[in-house]
Structure 1
Amino acid sequence: MPALQSLCFSATTPSPPKSLTNLSTKPTKTLQNLHLPDANISLQFKEKILCLEIMGVDSGKALTHNPSLQTATLASIHSITSFLQSKGIHQKDMGRIFGMCPKILTSNIRHDLKPVFQFLSQDLNVPENNFRKAINKCPRLLVSSVRDQLKPALFYVQRLGFKDMESLAYQDSVLLVSSVENTLIPKLDCLRSMGFSHEDAVGMVVRCPALFTFSVERNFKPKFGYFVGQMEGSLEALKEFPQYFGFSLEKRIKPRHREVVERGVSIPLSLLLKSTDEEFRELIEKGGG
């Protein structure tokens, strides 16, 4: 990718590429949406827009979510991409990573990025050859303060009983970038408000970490209301199968529950929801499970 290398992976750009005299539609719209007079749009700024677009980043969105990009230099962007490449991140990953977290493009390598990789290595035991896997799973790690966010979250979930560092690094890393006070604790409190003991609520989130990612208003409350109101289910059943909250209320839970009621059969909660459509049909025909 010659254009990408000359614009995004080189600290200097001695002469403008011909493409800058006829920017693609997308970068042109980006420039227009910023409401900057043409006279104020420097060649360097146009190069930066083109650089982002070549990497696969929506430059308009990136500039909106990270206004500091307007004054960032191509050299600084190059230093960020070079540093990430030195940590095993591939060029093909950059578009998605920067698109999700454009703040990374104006991060301070020493104070912001290096501590994150030290955290991955020292606290989560992630080997260097797996940095890419961890970052691709959760790019937000790169814009999270190790001192104020990542370590406090890790300490909290470890106190709850999370011991699998590999899972936290590659599967449930969203927990590490979630606010302990505003996200994790309220979700646990919500489960306790349903009638679960603290021990039972903790056991549920440890077995099903996705519970920490569900909305209280859009998920927990309507699904719990339906479970106890229409399904007349027990807390014990939910304690044994907390994955219940991960299924769609309208597309999975309600239709299948209504069918078993109409057919007069009884199927355990886990089988009711986890079974494929074919397996569910067989359970219905056999009169339950």
Structure 2
Amino acid sequence: MLEISCASDVLQVVKWRCPNQTLPPNSDTGFQKKVLYLESIGIDSFSLIENHPKLVTASLDDIKSTVKYITGMDFSAIEFRRLVGMCPEILTTKVSDIIPVFTFLHREVRVNGSNIKHVINRRPRLIICNVDKQLRPTMYFLQSIGIEEVNKHTHLLSCSVEDKFIPRIEYFENIGFSCRDTTSMFRRFPQLFCYSIKNNLVFLIIWHRRGKQAHPFTLFFVTFFFYG
């Protein structure tokens, strides 16, 4: 009875914090079962649902299928909880949408089967990405600028070309770097795509322009970074 009461309490909090969330008929009973299941596999249902309210209306059978499929790929219970903690949307992603992701990583990105687990652990969000709309176009973009071994930079595949990659490339071009030099920098150092323009790239440019007066270590870094 204590567990059922706890589930009801969580549901009431969801109703209060997410008033626009549409709850299905008989949500009390179904939600209680869902909370009990999540707790049984070691997942804190309260924090998870608070961060991903859509879980309230997700099918329990679909959730169980997703858990079974991913843990069946040699992810331990601890690893799975970490994946869900970093990307709650995984639990509401159907197996039919997850399978194409693993297939794409293996066949097109050329990630070895033994490395798939490492790739997902590093970037759990890959699991929820659509292959046709997100992963494949991003792979093509990276290849178009000369990054041929995309399997070494799989964490970039879940990033938006329009919102993340293009603005960073344009930033360098707008401050005077040629298209060729800019492309060369990102090709040699793809991690640049993950740098914040405001918090990281601006300082790199300052270092670059003040290189001759900089600390020897800074001068070495800037020389290597910009000129290889």
TM over 0.5, shorter chain: yes
Q: 2:169 aligned to 174, 185, 188, which one?
A: 188
TM-score (normalised: structure 2): 0.79
Measured in 2, the distance between the counterparts of 1:197 and 1:89 equals: 45
Write out per-residue CA displacement over residues 96-115 of structure 1, whole angstroms, 9 at most, x where no aligned residue.
Answer: 111222222121222x1111
Write out per-residue CA displacement over residues 149-204 of structure 1, whole angstroms, 9 at most, x where no aligned residue.
Answer: 10000000011111224312xxxx23111111111111111122232222221221
SS at match of 2:58: coil
1:77 and 1:267, CA in 2 relative to 1: closer, same or farther beyond 3 A? closer
Larger radius of gyration: 1
SS at match of 1:105: helix
Deviation at 1:125, TM superposition (A): 1.6
Say if 2:117 is the partner of 1:132.
yes
**Structure-1 residue corresponding to 2:77:** 91
Q: 1:72 aligned to 53, 58, 68, which one?
A: 58
1:73 and 1:79, CA in 2 relative to 1: closer, same or farther beyond 3 A? same
5+ long unaligned stretches in structure 2: 17-25
Deviation at 1:213, TM superposition (A): 0.7
Write out per-residue CA displacement over residues 77-131 of structure 1, whole angstroms, 9 at most, x where no aligned residue.
Answer: 1100111133333322111111222222121222x11110110111112233332
SS at match of 2:159: coil
Q: 1:117 aligned to 85, 88, 102, which one?
A: 102
Deviation at 1:66, TM superposition (A): 3.0
CA contact (8 A) 1:87 1:131 kept: no
1:99 and 1:197, CA in 2 relative to 1: closer, same or farther beyond 3 A? same
5+ long unaligned stretches in structure 1: 1-17, 235-256, 261-265, 275-289
Aligned residue pairs, count: 215
| Aligned residue identity for 2:195 | F
Measured in 2, the distance between the counterparts of 1:80 and 1:156 equals: 30
CA contact (8 A) 1:116 1:141 kept: yes
TM-score (normalised: structure 1): 0.64
Measured in 2, the distance between the counterparts of 1:223 and 1:128 equals: 37
Alignment identity in percent? 31
Deviation at 1:51, TM superposition (A): 3.1
Measured in 1, the distance between the counterparts of 2:207 and 2:111 equals: 41
1:21 and 1:49, CA in 2 relative to 1: closer, same or farther beyond 3 A? closer
Deviation at 1:223, TM superposition (A): 4.4
CA contact (8 A) 1:149 1:177 kept: yes
SS at match of 1:87: coil
Measured in 2, the distance between the counterparts of 1:68 and 1:21 equals: 21
Measured in 2, the distance between the counterparts of 1:226 and 1:162 equals: 26
**Structure-1 residue corresponding to 2:21:** none
